[in-house]
Structure 1
Amino acid sequence: MRIRPVTPARLVDELAGRITATPAAGFVRVGFDGADSAEPGALADALVDPLRVLGRPAVRVDLADFLRPASVRLELGRNNPDSFYERWYDLAALSREVLGPLAPGGSGRIVTTFWNPDTDRSSRPSYVDVPTGGVLLLSGPLLQGAGLDLDLVVHCAQSPAALARRTREELRWTLPAFDRYRDEVDPASLADVVVRVDDPGHPALVEA
């Protein structure tokens, strides 16, 4: 294994090439797995325009828009790391409304949001028609080990020290959940691409 430093722009170029080369029937579903401090959403956002230039229209979905109701998320308290790990996100809705329609033979008709945490109600989204050849860029934490049907997973990895250092104070209660994720799932071993982002401004690709 070697760690190859790359610039953020080079990383985007290499990932765009990897995504366009990924075999899939109709659509490509890409997950960007990482804690908020690893900025998986920013990396996914940066790929939208390059993919479009390559003739692959991209649609962004953030796992934070697929929360479960507060009565489920907060049943064990507002800052319970086991709740965050096990019941925070509505993965069934994500599979039904996004990943399933983009599976081989799917309709391509998806929603990009599902739940509004401010109202604790459905966000009542309009449907989006993803054209054939389109790419889903899904970002969020804890994406692996839950049976999500993705064609390519990019894991934004951080050392425990970097994760603790970069996590915002209001989210530090989630740190035990990421320890559990690392121990139980070993996300770096499952991902198709691993990017070290102890400092997101200076990423590095982990290569076998």
Structure 2
Amino acid sequence: MERVRLEAITWERLGDLLADRLLDLKPDDGSPWPRIAFDGAPAARPGDLAARVSDALRVRGRSSLVVGTEGFLRPASLRFEYGHQDVEAYYNGWFDTAALWREVFGPLEAGGTGRVLPDLWDPDTDRATRSPYVQLPSDALLLLHGPLLLKDWFPFDLTVHVLLSPGALRRRTPQSEHWTLPAFQRYETEADPAATADVLVRADDPRHPAWGG
């Protein structure tokens, strides 16, 4: 349930404010690489906000790497084992959390190498992407975006949730993907991202967001 007071803002201003906030962020575990979540249903487009913040950080002289969980989907044979529209599989089985831990979060722990794989699997070809590893300089930030991020205990140093009301989520989700909506209802109940995220962005009207946190 949403419990913070929200203020109207522009996307440009929001990107700037978040970038300014991240400049001073220090991980509690001693890692030199802050790890930020941009959580939200695909219809909320959290990746757009992550990219905007990355641009604002670059202007401020800080490096960042934007990573989307869509690059860490499991193979189709595993995602669709119980059918193409199985809500339980989408909620708990579509994203390769083990690979995210191994290829993204593990290297960014204190004493880690900083060598991150930006994506692993191409859902269109259903094959490995074979992307090269990216070496993050010390103090670079990881900006990870995707749905259902706040239920898997990833070691984020700051979390941003892009919220859509149930009505807006239904309107902005393609009809062919409406079968996923119960997964997001469950997520709201079990993880309560609007209350647990450090920063909440409401984006029912994509032209006029509001934020708090």
Contact 2:37 2:160 in 1 (8 A): yes
Give TM-score scaled by structure 1 length: 0.95
Aligned equivalent of 1:163: 169
Aligned equivalent of 1:13: 16
Q: CA RMSD in A?
A: 1.2
2:30 maps to 1:27:
no
Within 5 A, what are the aligned runs for 1:121-140?
A: 121-140=127-146
Aligned equivalent of 2:72: 66
Moved over 4 A (4+): none
- 1:97-130 CA distances to partner (integer Å, 9 max, x unpaired)? 0111112221110110101223322212211100
The match for 2:124 among 101, 105, 118 is 118
Percent identity reads 49
Aligned equivalent of 1:197: 203
User: Following TM superposition, by how much is the alpha carbon of 1:161 offset from its aligned partner in structure 2, in angstroms?
Assistant: 1.0
2:152 maps to 1:149:
no
Secondary structure (helix, strand or coil) at the match of 2:36 reads strand
Q: Distance in 2 between matches of 1:107 and 1:16?
A: 24
- 1:78-108 CA distances to partner (integer Å, 9 max, x unpaired)? 0112111010000110111011111222111
- 1:161-190 CA distances to partner (integer Å, 9 max, x unpaired)? 111111112211110100010011111122
Give unmatched runs, 5+ long, in structure 1.
none
Secondary structure (helix, strand or coil) at the match of 1:112 reads coil
Give unmatched runs, 5+ long, in structure 2.
none
Q: Distance in 2 between matches of 1:201 and 1:81?
A: 30
Moved more, 196-205 or 135-144: 196-205
User: Following TM superposition, by how much is the alpha carbon of 1:30 offset from its aligned partner in structure 2, in angstroms?
Assistant: 0.7
- 1:53-91 CA distances to partner (integer Å, 9 max, x unpaired)? 212101111100001111211011101121110100001
Give TM-score scaled by structure 2 length: 0.93
Aligned equivalent of 1:174: 180
2:92 maps to 1:86:
yes
Letter in 2 for 1:6: I
Aligned equivalent of 2:60: 54
